[in-house]
Amino acid sequence: MVSHRRLAAPGFDRGANAALCFMSAAAAALGAVPATAAPQDDTRAKVDRLYEEAEKATEAYNKADERADRLREQVSRSQDRIARQQDSINSMRDTLGSLAGAQYRSGGIDPSLVLLLSDDPADYLDKAARIARITAHQAGQLKDLQDAMRVLAQERAEATRKLTELEKSRKAVVAHKRTVEHKLAHARRLLNSLTAADRAAYDRASRSGRDDMQAFFGSAVPASGRAAAAVAAAQSALGRPYIWGANGPSGFDCSGLIQWSYAQAGVSLPRTSQGQRYAGRQIPLSEAQPGDVVTYRNDASHVGMYMGNGQVIHAPYPGAPVRYDPVGMIPGATVTRV
């Protein structure tokens, strides 16, 4: 959810604390809709709430989808191990079967009778000793077979459990997807009920067209080389559409933009905004530098990237492209240095 105000003027990097406090207070004040608000204002407030709810559902969808992907990989690895273990067991069974057949063919007469009938008792005793060694070896192989079969049974039970979890996760993905689609459709209907002027006011012009970016962001520099690379990647995504559940490169949801931007810098971040909040070291908002991850709300259901001069780049909501907005657009920002 975003408050619909003009962007902050340049100059954030001097007196940052005062500017941030002002923006946060203003955002908090604008978040309340007076009881006497005009119908158009009330409609915009409802759209804001729907977008916020849809964003939370989107992050839940991303989390469930990420879990489903992880479970698919685990199930695939388990199935590979099961296949290899089954081949090993089959080979062990064949070896034991051959030994058993040979013993049956050569050991059909009672050993004491063989000794009595033998012309060379010493030769018999030597053969018996060899048979005893073979039998001991066979017993060891039989134990190995039993152990392997027990491990195989455990692997199969674990694979079955993970398949059950995967099905539950898949259903959760579908449920979250429906929730998002329902809320976004409702928001679109409400937006379509606004006048053209109010729709234009709601869909503020993006700041993606500035040429004097150095002046816009002042003297702020990224905290590291990888942060600088992530900033460059995020800037390259300016103007691309918000697509829920997407992580680039043609479109993004809020956490998808941050994950993709850092991936271009060679850094693997979690898929969800909640995971991204804890993907590094927490720092005060007053110490934010370009490339820092900024999450919003208690549940971290929205995320952007700090760019300097009190601005973040983010994927706001459906219909609004990746753009710059004031870091105080939503109260309660938390900053993470990756």
Residues recognised as catalytic: 254, 302, 314
Exposure of 277 in the CB half-sphere (CA atoms within 13 A): 16
CA distance 135 to 233: 68
Partners of 337 in the β-ladder: 281
Query: Exposure string (b/e) for 123-145, b if CB count within 10 Å is 16 or more?
Result: ebeeeeeeeeeeeeeeeeeeeeb
How open is the CA angle 54-55-59, to the nearest 5 degrees? 115
Kindly report the three-state secondary structure assignment for every residue of 119-159. CCHHHHHHHHHHHHHHHHHHHHHHHHHHHHHHHHHHHHHHH
Phi/psi of residue 242, each to 5°? -75, 125
CA distance 204 to 254: 18
Close Cβ partners of 137 (under 8 Å, ≥ 6 residues apart): none
